[in-house]
Every structure is written in structure tokens, then in C-alpha cells.
Amino acid sequence: MKQRLHKIWAFVMALVVVFSTMSFTINMHYCGDTLVETALFHKAKGCGMDMGGPVTEGCTVTKKNCCEDKQLTVEGQDELQLSVQNLSLDQHLFVASFVYTYMNLFEGLSETIIPFKDYSPPLVERDIQVLYEVYLI
């Protein structure tokens, strides 16, 4: 159970690191005040109502375009390493003692100790099944 919990926790922490460093952009296309399309990794397609250029060259009357594209950018972290020079003496001492105790935590015994290896089992004086009249059928 402890190993599974440790693996799950390590996986969750890896996901936290990946998602905190990942940058992404959300593209949104509005037609008037209505959100028509949202795209995460590519440009949002239009609704087909984009205003083109004037049909005739002499026409100078133009309408305001009702469609609008918005872009939301989420920036991730760029720097993950903490400089060792910025640590105080107490922090150095804590890191060194933590690493030392963590490395020695998983050292096993050189051999398996069996405490009853030199003792023989007790001799059976009476047959307990007959004494208590318990028989397997």
C-alpha cells in the first residue's frame, strides 16, 4: 500500500511540474457578443461572416466588422532551478542532513535474522484432537 501511495504521489508531482511549465494559448472567435468557437492549440475558425473589402473600387462606405478574435495566453514558468548560492547555512545543513538520512533509510540488513533457528519445536505429549474430541470429517 505504501509503495502504491508513493508512486501515485510521484506521478501527481510530475504532472504538477509538467503543467506548471507548460504554456498554451486559447483562441476565441466572437460574432457580436456570442462566443462562436474556442480553439486550444490552433487558430479559431471564423463564422463565415467576416467583412471583406469593398466590392467596387469607388465605394468608400465601410461597415464595422461584427466579428472579433480574442486570444488568451497562459505563460508557464521558465526557470525551475533554485540557485544553490542563495541558500543560507541553515538551509544547507537541512538539505545535507535530509539527503544523508534519506539515503540511509533504505539500507537493509546484511542477512535475514531468524530468532528461532537454534530451537527445536516442543514435543507433543498428548494428541490435542483426541483430547478435545475434534475430528475432521
The pLDDT profile of the chain, 137 residues, written as one tens digit per residue, is 888 999 999 999 999 888 888 888 889 988 888 888 888 877 777 776 655 555 556 655 556 678 888 898 888 877 666 666 777 889 889 989 999 988 887 776 677 788 888 888 877 788 888 888 888 77
Residue 20 sits in which domain range? Answer: 2-79
Q: How far apart are CA 114 and CA 103, in angstroms?
A: 26
pLDDT value at residue 8: 95
Q: How many domains does the chain have?
A: 1
In a domain, 56, yes or no: yes
In a domain, 122, yes or no: no
pLDDT value at residue 94: 92
Q: How far apart are CA 104 and CA 102, in angstroms?
A: 6
In a domain, 134, yes or no: no
In a domain, 57, yes or no: yes
Alpha helices (H) along 22-136: 89-105, 128-131
pTM of the shown model = 0.40
In a domain, 14, yes or no: yes
Give, rounded to a whole angstrom, the gap between the first and last alpha carbons of the chain: 39
In a domain, 125, yes or no: no
In a domain, 41, yes or no: yes
Phi, psi (5° rounding) for residue 69? -110, 130
pLDDT value at residue 63: 63
In a domain, 126, yes or no: no
Which residues have a Cβ under 8 Å from the Cβ of 25 and sit 6 or more positions away?
40, 41, 71, 72, 73, 74
